[in-house]
Structure 1
Amino acid sequence: MAHSDRYAMLLSALPYHGPLFGATQTPLSRIRLNQRLALLDPDEADCLRHARRLLEWAQQEPDRTDAQSVVRAKQVIEGITNPFIRDLVTWRLELRTLVAALRRRHRGESAPRDRRWGFGRWTSRIMQHWNEPAFGLERAFPWLPEAERLLARGGTVDLERLLLGAVWNHLESCSDGHYLDFEAVVIYVLRWDMIARWTTYDGEEAARRFDELVEQAMAGVEKSLRPSADTARPVRA
């Protein structure tokens, strides 16, 4: 079967996901989704699995140091041969680095001195512009000033909503021109993951869970810059 035919068959079997924040459940179950994804060839399935492994909270390894996590992320990304998927994953990891920096600064901590604290092209910029609003990156990331305000106000759920909305909109902009191809499948699956994550939240439980995730992510930030950095836990913003 030709690739285009397989993609058409696969995507036609995936229900429309609708808006993120209007969802009350995923458009189809995880079991059904995995059954549909069986139409992918092994290389495509591996590419998708690697991308999800880096992006899903549940698949992170808490015993890794920040430096180890960054090295591992770079290794996995270098192994993703599809440039579109590689760029998607890179963008998400850079977003997490920005959020980790916001949280660190909000806690009154100083700028990191070791670039291994975060991932991507913005680490040096963040370190150099630590005391500037939004690290001077509001043009590249228009949601950053609002994220700062919500963080200062303690709006945990609103902050989570803002960040998920930023990712959702980014996926929307990336979907242009991808309708019956592998990239369209990946975008659908990443959106499915986001819906699954959001629909598990409920009021105070959402706030508790988000704070727990952020605290876990930030637990290694201080330690990662000390001489005993190899005992620190990784940053996962």
Structure 2
Amino acid sequence: MAENAYYTLLTSLPHIDSLFNSKITPISRIQLDRRLAMLSTADRETLVKVEQLVHWSHLGEEVKEEYLINLAERLMQELGSPDLKELVNWRLDMRTIAAALRRKANGIQAPTTARWSYGSRYAYIRRNWSHPTLGLQNAFPWIPVAVECLNKKDYLTLEKTVMEAVWNKLNELGARHRFDFEAVVIYLLRWNLVARWTSYNGDEAVLRFNDLTRQALGEFAHQLPGSPD
């Protein structure tokens, strides 16, 4: 897709200024999808795959872990953008970390299988399961706050902490991209965060975090010592 086409698309989209101060999304999903139809077929297909991996709840609760692993591996081979590869890997690592912290908070030991999740850190996490922050607090500074929230069962603050970390990562990458495909992906992922936040309440935070944990581990959850049948 020509650069001027990305410019036309992105300048047609309303600015997303804030996450937690937003009351509604700046544009409806129907309207957003209509604008995204300006993309080439190849770009639209890539955008769908990135969104599926970053927001896997769109795939439904019955999604299999092996399917997600294979989807991630295929996408990594297809993506030509180093920044998008960085973003997807980072986001998948966050999902795996959140799942691991949740299991640790319930007193469950490390998984015994070699390939228990996806991302680039799952093997490291398994080796460092006994560490309070999985040994990843420098790479993911939000982890100590997440651990504290889990100990207090403060799931709303936990979700806000994770969402803020994602928002900041998107802002970091957004500073490198203005009118290209990466900028389109970043816009969509920002929109998803705002949509999630504006539909939120405290009770839903508990349910959502438990759902995300279950989906993150998928069929591998039953391979963890102490997991319910």
TM-score by length of 2: 0.89
Q: Is the Cα–Cα contact under 8 Å of residues 117 and 225 in structure 1 kept in the other structure?
A: no
SS of residue paired to 1:115: coil
User: Which segment drifts farther, 128-137 or 21-30?
Assistant: 128-137
Aligned to 1:34: 33
Matches of 1:101 and 1:58, distance apart in 2: 18
Cα offset for 1:9? 1.1
Matches of 1:62 and 1:105, distance apart in 2: 22
Q: Is the Cα–Cα contact under 8 Å of residues 66 and 116 in structure 1 kept in the other structure?
A: no
SS of residue paired to 1:78: helix
Matches of 2:210 and 2:221, distance apart in 1: 17
SS of residue paired to 1:114: coil
Aligned to 1:113: 112
**Among the aligned pairs, what percent are the same residue?**
38
SS of residue paired to 1:135: coil
User: Which segment drifts farther, 28-37 or 55-64?
Assistant: 55-64
Matches of 1:218 and 1:86, distance apart in 2: 22
> Any idea what the Cα deviations from partners look like across 1:7-58, whole Å, max 9, x if unmatched?
1111111111111001111110111111111111111111111101112243
Aligned to 1:155: 154
Specify the code of the residue in structure 1 equivalent to 2:175.
D
Cα offset for 1:118? 1.5
Q: Is the Cα–Cα contact under 8 Å of residues 64 and 218 in structure 2 kept in the other structure?
A: no
Specify the code of the residue in structure 2 equivalent to 1:145.
P
Matches of 1:188 and 1:18, distance apart in 2: 11
Aligned to 1:172: 171
SS of residue paired to 2:133: helix
User: Which segment drifts farther, 69-78 or 164-173?
Assistant: 69-78
Q: Does 1:222 align with 2:218?
A: no
Cα offset for 1:161? 0.4
Matches for 1:47-86 after TM superposition, within 5 Å = 47-86=46-85
Aligned to 2:126: 127
Q: Is the Cα–Cα contact under 8 Å of residues 67 and 117 in structure 1 kept in the other structure?
A: no
Q: Is the Cα–Cα contact under 8 Å of residues 63 and 218 in structure 2 kept in the other structure?
A: no
Specify the code of the residue in structure 2 equivalent to 1:45.
R
User: Which segment drifts farther, 144-153 or 117-126?
Assistant: 117-126
- Distance of aligned partners of 1:87 and 1:223 in 2 relative to their CA distance in 1, 3 Å threshold: same
- Distance of aligned partners of 1:140 and 1:213 in 2 relative to their CA distance in 1, 3 Å threshold: closer
- Distance of aligned partners of 1:68 and 1:7 in 2 relative to their CA distance in 1, 3 Å threshold: closer
User: Which segment drifts farther, 208-217 or 39-48?
Assistant: 208-217
SS of residue paired to 2:30: helix
Q: Is the Cα–Cα contact under 8 Å of residues 48 and 186 in structure 1 kept in the other structure?
A: yes
Cα offset for 1:222? 3.5
> Any idea what the Cα deviations from partners look like across 1:49-101, whole Å, max 9, x if unmatched?
11011122432354344344323322233233333222211111111001111
> Any idea what the Cα deviations from partners look like across 1:141-186, whole Å, max 9, x if unmatched?
1111111011111010000000000000001111122111111111
Cα offset for 1:121? 2.2
Structure 2: gaps spanning 5 or more residues? none
Matches of 2:178 and 2:63, distance apart in 1: 38
